[in-house]
Amino acid sequence: MPEGDTVWNTARVLQRALAGARLTGSDLRVPQLSTADLTGWAIRESASRGKHLLLRLAAPDGHDWTLHSHLRMDGAWRAYAPGERWAARPAHLIRVVLRSPGAVAVGYHLHELALVPAAEEDSLVGHLGPDLLGPDWDPDEAVRRLAAHPDETIGEALLDQRNLAGVGNLYKCEVLFLRGTSPWTPVRAVPDLAGTVALAQRLLAANRGRWTQSTTGSLRRGGTTYVYGRRAQPCRRCGTAIRKEDLGERVTYWCPACQPDRR
């Protein structure tokens, strides 16, 4: 599940593979960018902002540009050595190929692909709330933005990237379990918003640098979450069957005993 930590890791993979390199070829397989040719462009850096990936480039004429992509549920970037077989995913899912002397970066099933002047980067990510894994993470601002929607459910508010950027469905479910908060609790009734936000940040940060997302401390298959993906299985704390239901546009998992409904 690509959430803030996965995107942070992906940005680091691209940074290691491409930063400082000059592209020897490119292939952008989406209609709106099919005529763009990035050959000769220099890769300055790769960064993440919430769940958005920003590849910053310098064109041969010296102007700075940003190649933006979003992984949503199913996108991925991989870096290959030159000549290595691209085996990660089927070829028809390829949206971007960036070739450099030392590595080839391949983007699969990317969403919201856009190439914009660097000065216009904010048009793509300026709406985002504080980035949980950003160098400028601002927990007070995240709490302020959440609290500005008192009647919204905390389950939906945590997923709204305008409040804070980086939490996806897995971390939403897990944070609320660990805080003993029902996902249907209105924001105004959440006992400690600051504590909730701080825990979300710690969980994401703990998974930086690895691809297995664990909130339990276990990396064992089937043991990595408390409630997410565990419908009808016993709660690890109390043994009650974990439930799964729609909440807003997403499903949510929770333990009805550990997270009593306070609507």
Nearest 10 degrees: Cα torsion 77, 81, 82, 87? -60
- Restricting to residues 111-140, name those near Zn ion by CB under 5 A: none
Closest among 87, 51, 57 to 69, alpha carbons compared: 51
Smaller CB separation from Zn ion, 201 or 259: 259
Beta carbon of residue 258, minimum distance to Zn ion (angstroms, whole number): 3
235 sits near Zn ion (criterion: CB under 5 A): yes
Q: Using the rule CB under 5 A, which residue among 67, 105, 178, 258 binds Zn ion? A: 258
176 sits near Zn ion (criterion: CB under 5 A): no
241 sits near Zn ion (criterion: CB under 5 A): no
Q: Using the rule CB under 5 A, which residue among 188, 237, 241, 261 binds Zn ion? A: 237
Closest among 185, 163, 174 to 227, alpha carbons compared: 174
List active site positions: 2-3, 51, 250
Beta carbon of residue 203, minimum distance to Zn ion (angstroms, whole number): 18
Q: Using the rule CB under 5 A, which residue among 112, 231, 257, 262 binds Zn ion? A: 257
Q: Report the b/e string of 190-218 with b at 16+ CB within 10 A.
A: beebeebbebbbebbbebeeeeebbbeee
Close Cβ partners of 217 (under 8 Å, ≥ 6 residues apart): none
Q: Which residues contribute to the site for Zn ion (CB under 5 A)?
A: 235, 237-238, 240, 255, 257-258
